[in-house]
Amino acid sequence: MSSSTEAATDHGEHPYRGDDAHGGEHGHHGPKWLAHHFDTPVQQYDAAKLGMWAFLIQELLFFSGLFVAYGVYRSWHPEMFQQASHQLDKIMGGCNTIVLLFSSLTAALAVRSSQVGNRNATSRYLIITILCACTFLVIKYFEYSHKFHTGLLPGRFFHPHDLHGGATLPTNAHQFFSIYFLTTGVHGLHVAVGIGVLIWILRRNLRGDFSKEYFTPVDLAALYWHLVDLVWIYLFPLLYLI
């Protein structure tokens, strides 16, 4: 549950309690945004939240496989992994960590603004979150470009030269960079998908689709973005620091 939803439930209230929770003056079925196969907004909200959590758990299982591969190969070649990790730019990685942490904050603030019916603030926070996501990808682009320039690539494309500090790497260091590109590449793809989702949410907010009675899509998009942030929080120390 996001921080905004927790804020609502801390006082014993459901986010969709109120006149519209059982239809109110909108007729026997409820407000226009209530899908026909749900009886109440509360039921629709709970079903959407449950579905999103199920999806996020599946995503965590997917990334868990990548983390297991990292752990296995690192246990086989601990010294090689340590040497190869020194060729990653810790400053760029650290900047991206700060950017994603800040974007998680703005995503949570967007949900809270939507929950209280502040459409302008919701748009501002969504725009900041999208800009942070784009900044992350730009930094990652420059980082990838350096790896291509120095030949620090997976498999048969591994031809290191002009390394930082004149270092030399063992011939099996391509295994580290295979895992590096696989994990950060898949994560970057999730960031790109998140940008598309957030832009879609922003467009819907600008046309007035959301209110303090209905903000489910904003909440679910923020949950997805928190997952993107969470995965990077693990990737950064595993690849760059340890």
Give CA separation, 196 vs 50, 129, 209, 212, 228, in Å.
22, 12, 18, 24, 14
Task: Decide if 15 contacts 45 (C-beta within 8 A).
Answer: yes
Q: What is the pTM of this model?
A: 0.82
For 52-241, CATH number out of 3.30.750.24, 3.10.20.600, 1.20.120.1200, 1.20.120.80 equals 1.20.120.80
Task: Decide if 22 contacts 34 (C-beta within 8 A).
Answer: no
**231/242 Cα distance (integer angstroms):** 16
Tokens of 212: 């303090």
**Chain centroid to CA 105: how far?**
12
Treating both helix axes as pointing N-terminal to C-terminal, what angle do 90-115 and 119-150 enclose, rounded to 10 degrees?
160
User: Tell me: the pLDDT tens digits for 194-226?
Assistant: 999 999 999 999 998 888 888 889 999 999 999
Q: Can you give the residue ranges of every domain in the chain?
A: 52-241
Tokens of 154: 């997976």
pLDDT on residue 160: 78
Q: How confident is the model at residue 89 (pLDDT cuts 50, 70, 90)?
A: very high
Please give the angle made by the CA atoms of 21, 10 and 50, to the nearest 5 degrees: 60
